[in-house]
Amino acid sequence: EEVVYHQSAAMSGRLPPKRDSVKASRLSTQLQKRRDAARQRQRDARRDLTDHARSLAFGAEDSGSEASATRAVGDQDAMHRSSSNPQELALEHPGTSSTEAWLDVAQMGRESRHERSPRHRRSSSAPGKWSRESVARFSESQFMLPEWMVDVPPDLGHAWFATPRPKGQRVLVISSRGCTVSRLKNGRVLHRFPSALPGGSQRTKHGKAEDSFCILDCVFHQEDGVYYVMDCMAWNGMSMYDCTAEMRLSWLYSKLGDPETAECEAATGTGPNNRYRFAVPPTHNCDASGLRAAYGSPFPFRRDGIQFLAKDGNYELGVTPLAVMWKDPNTSDFFLDENPDGSDTQRVVLSLQSATGDVVTGDPTPIALARLPAHFLESAGRAAESAPAGDDSLGRDGTWRGNGGLRDGLLLRFAVGKSGLQIQDGLPVAADLVYEGIANQRRGGADTMTKILFQYYARREPITIEEIGMAVETQAREAAMAASSGSSASSVSIARSSQSFSGIPNGLFDF
């Protein structure tokens, strides 16, 4: 018999507030505060991910000369100075343990240079020949992970880009030492091939030097065998993690954009030295015309939503509020998470905090949605301990095999009950959860707060393209009024409306 577990009053110190309406819950100041805080971290702190990029490109045993490392940093500094919109370097968001592990490896490699002969050459390991330990450390936190759109940013119309996301597998494409490898979120190799990217083959025209490498954030579109490049983290040995999105995308288009004018034109076609074609999906300023183009224009690929990217955002490792994903049935085949039974019941995966019994989201600062009763933890712990287990607690399919009971961080799967979520100021404070079992432990982590909210709204009152468009137009009018009056525009909430916004013709969004 299924048992529904609600968040207890003892968990929050008071009874949860009455559930807000879906419409009112979106008028949140907390979500915008999170975006402002992310920008402030970038302005106040500094980071240097050059060694992180080199560890991805060359592996942990990189023993190149100190001069080459210094040259790479110098090239990066020069690139920042040449940017039309220079930004302060940003400190990586805390809480991404796999990223810290990679930086630790890079630090050990850097210290080892002083202990070896200056004439010692690097290991000949190509980017596709990582050790099992390196693959295990690799995770989806090596990517910038967008949040899901559960409110419309008040500066969306002038401070963000809109890019249609191709349908396919998201991969990290790494080229170095004459080889190109694409890695999935779990670190496993999708393809190993020659490419015309710097360092991507023995005959590449760009970046033949031994320390040349590229790291690209791509989506592999299987239907036509094209790697669509969504972002650029390193090019020809220069780290671009700390460049703004405006700079990174401008750089990317100059290298791989228009095949007739692209600097690396050989990578935009196929041939013996470039097995897969690289292309850059169109990116638009998120004004009315740009939003119309991102939503309604024909594309050579099947879409899986629209990605919104803050122009001043750096490439953050892990979840960031400065990148936002949005979908509807017209832009994605996966608007709602699929269920094996074909139902539209929302299911969530949460992480267990064994000391308290709380089940929390996968955010850098986790949000507790419920507390499991003590008697349930005891019975489930005994069941887990009695389950057959090998040397490892995980099976090959990622299922939990016991060996120690319910450990801290164990991923559990729940269905959202009829009472749904209790939302206050745009954030969930409690949930009606039905326990269904232990989730696949290799999925990467628990669901984030915005993913849970997006799927929750999608089943009730989703954010529509009309709502986004009206917000963009309202922001444009406010900016025009502020410019004409010479005063700054005040922040106002955008009310929902069923009307089409004037920047897009009526009927364009009819399904």
Q: Using one digit for the tens of pLDDT, what is the confidence trace for 469-486?
A: 999 999 999 888 888 876
Residue 266 has pLDDT above 60, yes or no: yes
Q: Is the pLDDT of residue 119 over 60?
A: no
Q: At residue 6, does pLDDT exceed 60? A: no
Checking if the pLDDT of 102 tops 60, the result is no
Quick one: pLDDT at residue 278?
96
Tens-place pLDDT, residues 192-235: 999 999 999 888 776 666 778 999 999 999 999 999 999 999 99
Sequence letter at residue 75: D
Residue among 225, 182, 214, 231 nearest 72 (CA): 214
Tokens representing 249 are 């995308």
The mean per-residue pLDDT over the stretch 403-417 comes to: 81
Does the structure show a pLDDT above 60 at 236? Answer: yes
Question: In which residue are the tokens 């009730």 written?
Answer: 460
DSSP string, 303-332: EEEEEEEETT----SEEEEEEEEE--TTT-
Whether residue 162 is predicted with pLDDT greater than 60 in this model: the reply is: yes
If you average pLDDT over every residue of the chain, what do you get?
A: 75
Under the banding of pLDDT at 50, 70 and 90, the label for residue 46 is low
Better-predicted residue by pLDDT, 488 or 316: 316
Q: Which runs of E-coded beta strand occur in 129-168?
A: 144-148, 160-166
**What are the respective helix, strand and coil percentages of the chain, to the nearest 5?**
30, 25, 45
**Residues, the chain:** 511
In this prediction, residue 497 carries a pLDDT of 37
Distance CA 103, CA 89 (A): 17
pLDDT value of position 374? 81
For residue 84, is pLDDT > 50?
Answer: no
